[in-house]
Structure 1
Amino acid sequence: MNILDDLIPEPGSWYIMDRGYLDFARLYRLTEWSAFFVTRAKVNTQFRRVYSHPVDKSDALLSDQTIVLTGVRTAADYPEKLRRTRYRDPETGKVFTFLSNNFTVPAETITRLYKSRWQVELFFRWIKQHLRIKSFYGTSMNAVKTQIWIAISVYVLVAIIKKQLKLDGSLYTILQILSVTAFEQVPIEQVLTNFDYSSDDPGSDKQLLFKEL
């Protein structure tokens, strides 16, 4: 949560966070900077409803309310009104409650913004599961983006090779094979098609993790 203390909010921008970042003093700082946020509400959040806005329940919306916080500490941390939107996921039936400081966009936009955040989280989960990036060689924004793009580009190229050559091995195994034969002057088709994928071991003595490419 300390990242919110280091963050310099950009007026007019949106910050989408899960409820692990629910700190009303820090969220109020975003409001003071004329930035917008969407976050998940906790079940024990104390509030008073000021007004209920009409909603189109065909969009799986349950309610769209203007509220004020009534907790002793939270009311002091965030003294202005908030928007409270409740949404039921049509696929899982799970109900989500969102808080925002934006009162102008449609209620369904609030839910879609948070869903977009979830897609970003799934993307980073995919990175952790497939790209095996354990550390970064540089910590600047450009260095991190460059390393991620290189890793994704390698992954996609190997996926294309796997499809074109109709290989049975996993992408991870193919990456391992390429990592230990990177400096051998052998046609890539020969290297990959002659390997016994049933063993699924390109060579433990020379094996390199993808993170070391």
Structure 2
Amino acid sequence: MKDVKVHAKDILRMIPDEELAKLSSSTKVDYCAKVLSGERMFYLLVFALLAADQISQRKLEVVFNNSMFKTLFNISADAHVTHSSISTRLSKIDLSFFEKAYEIIYRRFSQLYTEEEIMHLYLIRVDSSMVAECCNRLKAGFTVGKKPGDGRQPRKQIKYTMAYDGFAVRLAEVFNEAVYLSEDMAIPKVVLKLVKKDSRHANLYVIDRGLSSLDNFNAINECDGKFVGRIKTSRNMEVVESLMKEDTDTDLGNLELYEDNIVHLYDNEEKKYSETPYRVIKARFKQPRDTTRPANKGKVRRVENEVFLITNDFGLTPKQVAEAYRRRWDIEVFFKFLKQNLSFSHFVSTSENGIKVILYMTLITAMLVMIYKRENGLGFSIGKFMFFMEMQDWVCQLMVVLNGGNADKQNGDIRLKARIP
């Protein structure tokens, strides 16, 4: 792997073991745990998520009892677990250990970004993804659509709403109640939490059409949070002022700007226009699209030739607003990576606690891959594959050393962990 600039070993060594050990003590995650300590569970899930595209409790059992895993993370050879003990541990293990571990690792890894790159991390894409349990074993979840007519129970689903900054997830919420099926209920919980944490109000939140309630726009605005979203072209509003000038750049990439207005949105509850000003940018696609309504119009979103973008940031240019909204697609690519490559399309645990533990560990593993792919100029999938291949190579070298041989000197100290967690 001559073209690799930053190796997987270097990234794994950045995981702060001393801080994880302190967390183990402060959270008491290891209370009554004989084999599956918090740190062991941490590294078990990292290794398994890197090793396979889809993991299960039985696969976690195989991984833990495998000599490769034990050698790489310096775990005693006689340590042994079963899939049932993993299941029980996931359902009862202290969640705060994994929440705080995620925060620590995010801070550590985000330090690798330059000041210029950090500026891009202030663009926070917020969206949701649904995951369904095909075996109907979820202890909590909601159903979507009609019940099956053959007497079968409808599949339960869980909703994940995340705020993604292009490097990692700043905040994630897990929803298992039907009321959160609406994005107007789920997204504000994430956005408003982050707005309160962002004391400098540097973040710009990018949201899709799912968030459309005037009350939610006002709630973000009142907290001094800045956002860019999209509204329906049929949205009722009154123009207060036009921001279009003779020298306004109307080229928005594949869109062409035709209006940039300060508006008041109609309040359906009060039956009048709201007094809070927003900015609505109206643009058309340069290449007209086929807008013929499909026969199954209830299942396919209507195609339009116009896009209405809304923001409460009056200092951005129309092109900056359009570019910010275009970058919203990054979170869709990230969701695809999580589901296709990090086992996020199904549930390893069906308990609420276990689901959240797996969520945090999936996001931590995604951070490791993100740094590796970024430093080595790779894609998500190949980055994850090469990361694990390097781990296999080092296990082979470590086994040579442990058996009295000489490993490749250019790799230096190949042991990843100096102590047994």
TM-score, length basis structure 2: 0.34
Give the Å deviation of 1:21: 1.1
Distance 2:265 2:384 in 1: 53
Stretch deviating more after TM superposition (61-70 or 108-117): 61-70
Distance 1:77 1:70 in 2: 4
Contact 1:24–1:77 (Cα < 8 Å) also in 2: no
* Count of residue pairs brought into register by the alignment: 167
Structure 2 partner of 1:18: 208
Does structure 1 residue 65 correspond to structure 2 residue 258? Answer: no
TM-superposition CA deviations, 1:108-142 (whole Å, max 9, x none):
11111111111222332243244442346663675
- Cα distance 1:158–1:105, how it changes in 2: closer, same or farther (>3 A)? closer
> Runs of 4+ in structure 1 displaced over 6 angstroms?
74-77, 151-154
Aligned CA distance change for structure 1 residues 144 and 27 (closer, same or farther; 3 Å) = farther
Q: Residue in 2 aligned with 1:41?
A: 231
CA deviations 1:126-184 (Å, max 9, x no partner) are 432444423466636753421334677794257559xxxxxxxxxxxxx9xx9xxx9xx
Alignment of 1:187-198 (within 5 A): none
User: Deviation digits for residues 73-124 of structure 1, max 9, x if unmatched?
Assistant: 3777953111000233446754211111111111111111111111222332
- After superposition, residues 144-163 of structure 1 pair within 5 angstroms as 144-149=362-367, 155-156=381-382
The match for 1:79 among 253, 269, 275 is 275
Distance 2:326 2:270 in 1: 26
Structure 2 residue 290 is matched with structure 1 residue 97: no
For the aligned residue pairs, the C-alpha RMSD in angstroms reads: 3.6
Tell me which residue corresponds to 2:89. Answer: none
CA distance in structure 2 between the partners assigned to 1:127 and 1:119 by the alignment: 13
Could you tell me the percent identity over the aligned residues?
Answer: 17
Letter paired with 1:24: L
Partner SS for 2:235: coil
Structure 2 stretches of 5 or more lacking a match?
1-183, 290-304, 349-353, 373-379, 397-421
Taking CA–CA contacts closer than 8 Å with sequence separation of 6 or more, which of the two structures ends up with the larger relative contact order? 2
CA distance in 1, matches of 2:189, 2:273: 15
